[in-house]
Structure 1
Amino acid sequence: MRLVFGLVLLAGMALAGFAVFMAKDYIGKYQNALEQERARAVEVVPTQSIYVATRMIAYGEQILTDDVRLAPYPKELLPEVFFDEANPLTDADGQLRVAVRQIETNEPIMGLKVSEPGGDAGLTSRLERGQRAFTIKVDVASGVSGFLRPGDRVDVYWTGRIPGNDPNLPQGDVTKLIQTGVQLIAIDQSSNPDGNDATIARTVTVAAQPQQVAALAQAQSSGRLSLSLMNALDDTVAEATEVDQRSLLGITRREQKAEVKALEVCTIRTRRGAEMVEIPIPCTN
């Protein structure tokens, strides 16, 4: 009985091994035929190896080496501007490009969807985590005569009048430093920091935290904002500064001394025998 069981087991193993061999041989022949068919298709349709995306690349992302690969692409369908080994994505200095439009997986990297090497995707790529962009109206006086450039840092001063008749509040117009070291990311509609000509800007856009944005919005709606350009290497923080018309002209407030009014006493005189006596009585107007 055991001998029969052993023979059946050996026969089953032999049949299983033969089946695996046949399947492997069939799969190998199929793969060879598929490769030959692909080779013939490549010969029929002329192709060129260009860079395509290995993943979905979102707007504003830098395009890294692992994000692209070379793949054959029909020459008849090549985009107007593409990238290959002769025209790589990076320049001689290794500067990366940034996606200015979303690029899908396996989509060719086209020139109209990427920036120049070392470029960016606009204002959003210049904002750090938690920052917001805010625009300030300026003119020739408040905008430092047009010498501002994207990337500069400025102090922001507010000039206005504080309402109320409280004698403890500044009198007349007051100028106060409200923000220091704020970075400019755009002048008018330009974010190019390489401009050389001074232009009179009408607006500047700054990068600021939400609390700073709220303060700038309130200040701009209630007074006038002026900018003061900082040195590019200056890492100091300006102290709180406030100047009103009195301190500007050196006028000091005079303290008015209250006059101490003597207590008024009213009396009447009456005779008591041979003496005259003064008796206090309530004073009347």
Structure 2
Amino acid sequence: MSAGHVSRWYLNRSAWLWLMAVLCGLGAAWAVREHIGERVMQLEAAAQVPHVGIIVAAHDLAPGLRLAADHLAVRQVPAAWRTTEALAAQDFGRLEGQLLVHPVRRGDPVMTLHVKPISAASLSGRVATGRRAITMAVDQLNSMSGMLAAGDLIDLYVSFEYQRRPVTAPLLQGVSIMATGRQEAGSASAVEAGADGHESAYSTVTLDVAPEDAVRLVAARQSGRLTAVLRHPSDRTLSPAAARGNLAALLGIQAPVPPRSRQVDVIYGNSSRRQSTTTAGAAQSLENGVSQRSGAFEAPLPDQVASAWQEVRDALLDAAAEPAWNDEEQQDDENNQQ
């Protein structure tokens, strides 16, 4: 064997050894990777536990809060950690509208012991946001005893004395009656009473008003006399009719005011003498003053009746309840019209 052949043989042997080493290294790396991956999967499977969603507080909640969707959140926790009092995610809708009786910190589970449902008979649960319910005694309203029913609309007039003259003016118009005594609008007792054709005795009437109207109503109750006037449920007109003065002035039978004489001082030289003179202008101005202070007049009117917000609410609810047309049906209707 020549020297050239020997050197080539050694070179080929070295190349094959390097190639085998590289292949063995790659195989070992692949085997280690597969072993580690399989081991990780085994560890994850061993550590994996079922999770469930529970309802937690989205932020710190104080007692007395009426729960809404933005007060609550859902968090995933291991099923073994869930307590029997914790509420599942599917109970989210059931919590809305309930009353919180215990404080709950942010992230803590909301449990059944933290809340209590607002009874359907609870009047506060029927008061809309931004509205107020005020209860008036029937004798304070000077109204038709036993004739008012929950759901009726009434006008409230106030009578008081201003500048030593009686005044009667509209205070609130189109006020909705939420309850008469303990019977609320739409309740079973109210429906039964209406079906029987009679109303049980009651001594109070609860009205639905805006906060500023509640202030006016309290002030009028303290300083004047209130009278309730029943109106048709669909009547939304406003009346500015008001009156001042006594009944004779309102009926137009008040005796004419006699003219008054005015004393005018007339000076003659160094002496003065009082002379009685009646001027037509003075008598006319006096009569005009009396006519302006007595009789019917128009009081300032609000923008709308007190119960107008209910119509807006009902319209929005009706619109939300109507099924929406899809694009194809709407396109077909347009084509038919064309």
**Shorter-chain TM-score category?**
0.5 to 0.7
Question: Residue 222 of structure 2 aligns with which residue?
Answer: 221
Q: Give the Å deviation of 1:115.
A: 5.0
Instruction: Give the share of equivalent positions with the same residue, in percent.
Output: 18
**Cα shift readout 1:181-237 (whole Å, capped 9, x = no counterpart):** 223334345545323332343333333334322221221111221222222222212
Question: Residue 136 of structure 2 aligns with which residue?
Answer: 136
Using the alignment, how far apart are the partners of 1:69 and 1:230 within structure 2? 53
SS of equivalent residue, structure 2 residue 145: helix
Q: Give the Å deviation of 1:253.
A: 5.2
How many residue pairs match? The answer is 227
Q: Give the Å deviation of 1:180.
A: 0.9
TM-score, length-scaled by structure 1: 0.54
Question: Residue 42 of structure 2 aligns with which residue?
Answer: 29
Distance 1:232 1:20, change over 3 A: farther
SS of equivalent residue, structure 1 residue 134: strand
Using the alignment, how far apart are the partners of 1:102 and 1:255 within structure 2? 69
Question: Residue 12 of structure 2 aligns with which residue?
Answer: none
Contact 2:143 2:228 survives alignment (8 Å): yes
Contact 1:149 1:193 survives alignment (8 Å): no
Distance 1:113 1:132, change over 3 A: same
Question: Residue 256 of structure 1 aligns with which residue?
Answer: 258
Question: Residue 193 of structure 1 aligns with which residue?
Answer: 186
Contact 2:133 2:208 survives alignment (8 Å): yes
Using the alignment, how far apart are the partners of 1:224 and 1:183 within structure 2? 20
Contact 1:150 1:191 survives alignment (8 Å): yes
Using the alignment, how far apart are the partners of 1:84 and 1:265 within structure 2? 100
Aligned: 1:99 with 2:98:
yes
Using the alignment, how far apart are the partners of 1:215 and 1:239 within structure 2? 17
Which one of the candidate residues 157, 170, 186 is aligned to 1:177? 170
SS of equivalent residue, structure 2 residue 46: helix
Question: Residue 306 of structure 2 aligns with which residue?
Answer: none
Question: Residue 233 of structure 2 aligns with which residue?
Answer: 232
Q: Which has the higher helix share?
A: 2
C-alpha RMSD of the superposition? 5.3
Using the alignment, how far apart are the partners of 2:236 and 2:160 within structure 1? 28
Using the alignment, how far apart are the partners of 2:247 and 2:238 within structure 1? 25
Using the alignment, how far apart are the partners of 1:192 and 1:153 within structure 2? 12
Kindly report structure 1 stretches of 4+ aligned residues shifted beyond 6 Å. Answer: 18-21, 66-74, 82-85, 87-90, 260-266
Contact 2:265 2:272 survives alignment (8 Å): no
Contact 1:138 1:225 survives alignment (8 Å): no
Aligned: 1:113 with 2:126:
no
Distance 1:191 1:77, change over 3 A: same
Contact 2:159 2:226 survives alignment (8 Å): yes
Q: Give the Å deviation of 1:106.
A: 4.4
Q: Give the Å deviation of 1:33.
A: 1.5
Distance 1:249 1:73, change over 3 A: farther
The aligned amino acid for 1:224 is R
Using the alignment, how far apart are the partners of 1:73 and 1:145 within structure 2? 62
The aligned amino acid for 1:98 is G
Contact 2:141 2:226 survives alignment (8 Å): no
Q: Give the Å deviation of 1:32.
A: 1.4
Question: Residue 277 of structure 1 aligns with which residue?
Answer: none
- Which ranges of structure 1 fall in alignment gaps of 5 or more residues? 1-10, 43-48, 91-95, 165-169, 267-279
TM-score, length-scaled by structure 2: 0.47
Question: Residue 277 of structure 2 aligns with which residue?
Answer: none
The aligned amino acid for 1:252 is Q
Question: Residue 6 of structure 2 aligns with which residue?
Answer: none
Using the alignment, how far apart are the partners of 2:35 and 2:147 within structure 1? 80
Using the alignment, how far apart are the partners of 2:172 and 2:125 within structure 1? 22
Q: Give the Å deviation of 1:246.
A: 2.5
Using the alignment, how far apart are the partners of 1:230 and 1:69 within structure 2? 53
Show the 5 A alignment for 1:42-121.
53=55, 55=57, 59-61=65-67, 77=84, 98-101=97-100, 106-107=109-110, 113-114=116-117, 119=120
Distance 1:191 1:284, change over 3 A: closer
Question: Residue 5 of structure 2 aligns with which residue?
Answer: none
Question: Residue 146 of structure 1 aligns with which residue?
Answer: 146
